[in-house]
Amino acid sequence: MTNVFVATRGGVSLTDLETEQVLGQVMKEVLGFRSPTAKYGTWLSRLDGITDEQYEEVVLALMLRGY
């Protein structure tokens, strides 16, 4: 099964409610983040705060997972 993943620099949209869980797992694995931190609050907010290179790594990892 392939999930549809729509990515823009301003945010990410997944077709189901796993967004925070999947994004959190990928960002932990790829970037070594332990949590979204109090500053960001959510993984989606943390995604907006990373560099373009880190963003590309996260998107690639999501694509390899089928998103």
Instruction: Give the per-residue pLDDT at 34.
Output: 86
Q: Count the Cβ atoms, other than its own, within 10 Å of residue 14.
A: 19
Q: How far apart are CA 16 and CA 61, in angstroms?
A: 18
Return all residues near 6 (Cβ < 8 A) that are at least 6 apart: 12, 13
Instruction: Give the per-residue pLDDT at 45.
Output: 82
| Low-confidence spans in the chain with pLDDT less than 70 | 1-17
Instruction: Give the per-residue pLDDT at 30.
Output: 94
Q: How far apart are CA 49 and CA 63, in angstroms?
A: 20
